[in-house]
Amino acid sequence: MTAEQKLSAARFLDTAGAFLKTGYFDECEPYNFTDDEELPVNAAAYSAVKSVAETVAVYCGEAEYCADSEIPGLNKDAGNAEAPDSIKSIKPTDSIKSIDSIKTTDSIAAIADAVCKCTNCGLHTTRIKAVPGEGVENPLVLVVGEGPGADEDASGRPFVGAAGRLLDKMLLAIGLDRKKNCFIANVIKCRPPQNRDPYPDEAAACLPFFEQQLAALNPPLILTVGKIPVKALLGTDEGITRLRGNWKLYHGIPLLPTFHPSYLLRDASQKRFAWEDLKALCRRLAEIDSAYAAETAQIRAGWNS
Ligand code: URA
């Protein structure tokens, strides 16, 4: 067995054990494996274990969100979370601006550079680092958060604290990963002091950066988490409990609002609703992208609704 194979098996056992014990992933022990001199004869058995490990890892992610989600009646709020029917819930009065109306010739890197130098509102005086966003440049989904917290302010990276770890697990449960197929950005690029909600002038000063990112990335779908991004993008004051699971359009791109992972950390009973939204997003993406559809076929096959 190689050191890498041993590490993969140990990580699997650690993850499965921790998940079964507490329902959450714990940090694993640091290991220092070395390669065996000869590979085992039973390499096929190892591959089988590895593929089970990968499958369980994905389902562990799912299990964390889907507890009770299949109980009839529990998800009545999620009624129109499904696409494409859900798109019909968009009212004719909803604004459908074209993405072409956003002017940008800048690359994601150039936009990030401009964000880091920005002094357009008072938040630049209190930030440690601006947080432009991160991910792949041709994402399947643009995930949109509120604004940086303390961890993000210190690191310059989005969603790296406890909420970020939960967000990563939520995305992983439907085959999404900021290193592979999505981009994560906030509508507000600098941390508001004490994590207060951004003032309207701060939100207005930051929106052009988000719009330029949107034009540069041109994602097929947008997932917003929490009430601030829906308010900033769609101008609605409606509560997130009513908004979540209802598809909207932003510059012609389907946008699905869901709960913020910080809220889910505070109230785990709401995870079932977020899970319904994630499933709806996954199904819609699978209709759009055949490679993603193939990758997530097994996950989707396990869902009753
Ligand atoms: N919450 C957010 O909305 N964004 C972050 O980047 C971190 C926490």
Taking the model in full, what pTM does it have? Answer: 0.72
- Ligand 1 centre and the CA of 37: distance in Å? 46
pLDDT beyond 60 at 83: no
- Ligand 1 centre and the CA of 189: distance in Å? 10
DSSP sequence for 245-286: T--EEETTEEEEEE--HHHHHH-GGGHHHHHHHHHHHHHHHH
The pLDDT assigned to 79 comes to 34
The pLDDT assigned to 112 comes to 96
Q: CATH class for domain 78-294? A: alpha beta
Using DSSP bridges, classify how beta strands 221-225 and 248-250 pair: parallel, antiparallel or unpaired: unpaired
Confidence of residue 46 (pLDDT cuts 50, 70, 90): very low
User: Does the beta carbon of 232 sit less than 6 angstroms from any atom of ligand 1?
Assistant: no
User: Does the beta carbon of 148 sit less than 6 angstroms from any atom of ligand 1?
Assistant: yes
User: Which residues contact residue 293 at a Cβ distance below 8 angstroms, ignoring those fewer than 6 apart?
Assistant: 285, 286, 287
The pLDDT assigned to 278 comes to 98
For residues 256 and 281, the answer to whether their CB atoms sit within 8 Å is: yes
* Mean local confidence (pLDDT), 79-84: 43
**Which residue ranges make up each domain of the chain?**
78-294
User: Does the beta carbon of 159 sit less than 6 angstroms from any atom of ligand 1?
Assistant: yes
User: Does the beta carbon of 58 sit less than 6 angstroms from any atom of ligand 1?
Assistant: no
User: Does the beta carbon of 152 sit less than 6 angstroms from any atom of ligand 1?
Assistant: yes
Confidence of residue 96 (pLDDT cuts 50, 70, 90): low
Higher pLDDT, 22 or 88: 22
Residue type, 276: E
Integer-rounded Cα radius of gyration of the chain? 21
Average model confidence (pLDDT) across the chain: 80
Q: How many Cα atoms within 13 Å fall on the side-chain side of residue 83?
A: 22
Using DSSP bridges, classify how beta strands 141-145 and 221-225 pair: parallel, antiparallel or unpaired: parallel
- What H or E segment, with its residue span, contains residue 258? strand 253-258
